[in-house]
């Protein structure tokens, strides 16, 4: 009898799967000003707009969890680009705060397992336990795949993707400069 009740309860849990699709979205990104490192956030179904810096929004877990996974990822991309450009001395970074919650996992089908030395991310499917290793930029570009993560982890993936995008832009600029600069060689 107890086995029958356990099977019945397991079937009910599968019917009422608390997946990421049931999660409420409270905020939406309205506009982004990369130069001033500010973002305008709209409260859904209200006429309320909040203007904050990238670091204020990223250090606020309530706002990140209230965004959709895709928008949390793109917020992370802007934050990562700003961090990378500030580290290279090309701009100032406003209000640097270190978020400590970005790897928390509460929902979603995938969870970040590790970050590898080559810049790739290993993520695990929670039900099948299959592990995927992808670059954060490819995860951020795939709209359907980023929705399978927790919003906090999507923001972290976005930060890594923004840093990688900024590195790629700098490497492209250096290659173009090296190819186009003529030089003379003295031959004796």
pLDDT tens digit string along 125-178? 999 999 999 999 999 999 999 999 999 999 999 999 999 988 877 676 665 555
Residue with the bigger pLDDT between 114 and 184: it is 114
- At residue 11, φ and ψ (nearest 5 deg) are -65, -40
Asked whether residue 163 is domain-assigned, the answer is yes
pLDDT value at 81 more than 70: yes
Provide the 8-state DSSP code for 164.
H
Contact 162, 79 (CB under 8 A): yes
- What pLDDT sits at residue 20? 47
Asked whether residue 142 is domain-assigned, the answer is yes
Sign of the dihedral defined by the CA atoms of residues 91, 95, 98, 104, in that order = negative
137 lies in which domain range?
22-180
pLDDT value at 187 more than 80: no
Contact 49, 30 (CB under 8 A): yes
The b-or-e profile of 123-146 (16+ CB within 10 A means b, else e) is: bbeeeeeeeeeebbbebbeeeebb
Asked whether residue 186 is domain-assigned, the answer is no
- What pLDDT sits at residue 17? 46
Asked whether residue 1 is domain-assigned, the answer is no
Asked whether residue 46 is domain-assigned, the answer is yes
Residue with the bigger pLDDT between 87 and 115: it is 115
- What pLDDT sits at residue 18? 44
**Number of folded domains in the chain?**
1
**Helices and strands counted in the chain (H then E):** 7, 6
Asked whether residue 159 is domain-assigned, the answer is yes
**What three-state secondary structure class fits 175?**
helix
pLDDT value at 113 more than 50: yes
Asked whether residue 11 is domain-assigned, the answer is no
Asked whether residue 12 is domain-assigned, the answer is no
Give the confidence band of 60 by pLDDT, cuts at 50, 70, 90: confident
Who's near 27: CB < 8 A, 6+ residues apart? 41, 42, 43, 44, 63, 66, 67, 71
Q: What is the pLDDT of residues 3-16, one digit of tens each?
A: 767 666 665 555 44
Pairing of strands 38-43, 121-125: unpaired
Max CA pair span of the chain: 97
């Amino acid at each position: 009898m107890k086995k029958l009740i356990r099977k019945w309860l397991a079937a009910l849990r599968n019917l009422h799967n608390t997946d990421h699709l049931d999660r409420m979205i409270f905020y939406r990104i309205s506009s982004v000003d990369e130069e001033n490192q500010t973002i305008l956030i709209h409260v859904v179904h209200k006429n309320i707009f909040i203007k904050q810096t990238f670091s204020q929004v990223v250090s606020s877990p309530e706002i990140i969890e209230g965004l959709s996974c895709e928008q949390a990822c793109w917020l992370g991309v802007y934050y990562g680009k700003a961090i990378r450009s500030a580290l290279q001395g090309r701009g100032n970074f406003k209000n640097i705060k270190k978020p400590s919650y970005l790897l928390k996992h509460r929902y979603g089908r995938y969870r970040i397992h590790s970050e590898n030395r080559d810049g790739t991310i290993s993520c695990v499917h929670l039900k099948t336990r299959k592990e995927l290793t992808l670059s954060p930029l490819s995860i951020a570009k795939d709209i359907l795949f980023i929705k399978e993560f927790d919003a906090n982890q999507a923001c972290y993936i976005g930060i890594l993707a923004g840093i990688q995008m900024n590195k790629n832009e700098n490497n492209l600029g250096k290659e173009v400069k090296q190819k186009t600069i003529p030089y003379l060689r003295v031959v004796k």
